[in-house]
Amino acid sequence: AKSLQERSSELRKTRFKKIQEDRGVAEPRDLLRNMPIRWSSTKIMLDRAIAHCEDIKQFIRELEHEETKEEKHDTLHTMHIRPAEWLNVSMLLELLSFADDTQIAFSAEKYPTLYFSSDRLLTLTSAWKKRRDDLSLSEFKDALDIALEKLEEYHDISSNSSGHPATLLLSPSTLSARFTCSWARERQTGIIKPNLDGTLSPTSPSLSDVGPRPSTSQKAGLNRLRADAACSSTAPAASSTAAELWRAEYDCFLNTHYDVPEDMSLLRWWGMYAAQLPTWASFGADYLAIMSSSISAEWAFSSAGLTITKHRNRLKGDIVEALQVIKCTLRNDLLVHEQPPSSIVDADLLCEDSDEEDG
């Protein structure tokens, strides 16, 4: 209501800015209004209002003082915001900040972010549950209950598929405590084991198939690395049965700390480590769509909108999403490059040396 009052005429806009100038503000600003089509607009509106709370008080006082009609004067008098109401606005702003931070965490146009969504929504759920039980926030309990129901609905939808939990497990940056607390080890094995068993089939495709096949020396070296990692880890000893061949690599990845640069995407990271963790990489190939997709931020909707408009709305949602993924991949150099064939070169040099000696 205060925003509408301030924006209802140019004279009132000028008055509101004059109040700020008298206070020494170099660049006076208008108040903002909530926009239903922008999910963050309520938070932005309240943030601006709190920043100008003193200006709003002065603005209402001046309007009330100048009003000659008793009815309108009384209406303006009721628009004064009490300290308790400002406190409620501050608490609401804090609650909305959690949602805004979550949205920002997995919204981007220039790099893949979809695999963060499940983890970030769990964080938001935990934060709001704590605030719901806080007696000082009792006035927001009903609203938080509704919000948490919606988050649970999202969680139930994602829980019907192993895609998001598996992708979360495939992310080294979120691999540790959060996943362990959210799903038991049996749940992890239930998601991973059937898929990793399938990758052991001779006909099973792998990410490593996109490049040169490793030589015998490469395979031997990789097996030594796996065995060394499995022995040095604190995980239980791997089974020697054929059905548990994936266990050594499974434990190696789960029990190894990886430092992932902040500016490196999950897709690029797996492109680099596909040769070291071929079974995991093959399993991860089934989830490339999630690992390479992004959830557009608000400002990014215009890009998708232009894509649709140019084709007269003949593109379906999945086609638009695929085009956005391709644009993101090409513009940000996210294509996975082949590993340098260092071991193959070494093997070729050894063969050349042997031929020279024989000659």
By C-alpha distance, which of 299, 289, 277, 300 is closest to 329? 289
Which of 42-56, 242-256, 310-324 shows the lowest mean pLDDT across its residues?
A: 310-324
As given in the structure block, the two tokens for residue 301 are: 């909707």
Query: pLDDT at position 204, please?
Result: 44
pLDDT of 73 reads: 85
Cα–Cα distance list, 91 to 33, 73, 85, 129, 168 (Å): 19, 30, 10, 15, 32
Question: pLDDT of 103-118, one tens digit each?
Answer: 777 766 556 666 667 7
What average pLDDT does the structure give for the chain? 69
What is the residue whose two structure tokens read 């963060």? 116
The pLDDT value given to residue 332 = 64
Which residues contact residue 338 at a Cβ distance below 8 angstroms, ignoring those fewer than 6 apart? 210, 211, 212
Looking at this protein, which amino acid is placed at residue 99? A
pLDDT digits (tens, 9 = 90+) for 137-148: 999 999 999 999
Check residue 108 and give its pLDDT: 64
Other Cβ atoms less than 10 A from the Cβ of 283: the count is: 26
Angstrom distance (rounded) from CA 244 to CA 230: 13
Model confidence, pTM: 0.56
Rounded to whole angstroms, the Cα distance separating 239 from 245 reads 7
Q: Which residue has the tokens 């039980």?
A: 133
| CA 314/CA 1 separation, integer angstroms | 41
Tokens 């992932």 map to which residue? 260
Q: Count of CB atoms within 10 A of residue 77's CB?
A: 12
DSSP 33-68: ---TT-TTHHHHHHHHHHHTHHHHHHHHHHHHHH--
Residues in the chain: 359
For residue 324 the two structure tokens come to 């956005």
Residue 228, pLDDT > 70, answer no
Q: How is the chain split into domains, by residue range?
A: 1-81, 161-292+335-348
Give the pLDDT confidence score for residue 225 in this predicted structure: 40
Tokens of 149: 């129901």
The tokens for 243 are: 């059905």
The Cα–Cα gap between 320 and 66 comes to 55
Q: What is the pLDDT of residue 263?
A: 73
Residue 61 has pLDDT above 60, yes or no: yes
Question: Residue 127 in contact with residue 312, Cβ under 8 Å?
Answer: no
- 87, two tokens: 């406190």
Three-state DSSP state, 159? helix
How far is the C-alpha of 209 from the C-alpha of 232, rounded, in Å? 29
Contacting residues for 129 by C-beta, under 8 A, at least 6 apart: 148
- How sure is the predictor about 206, in pLDDT bands with cuts at 50, 70 and 90? very low
d(CA 37, CA 298): 10
Q: How far apart are CA 330 and CA 314, in angstroms?
A: 23
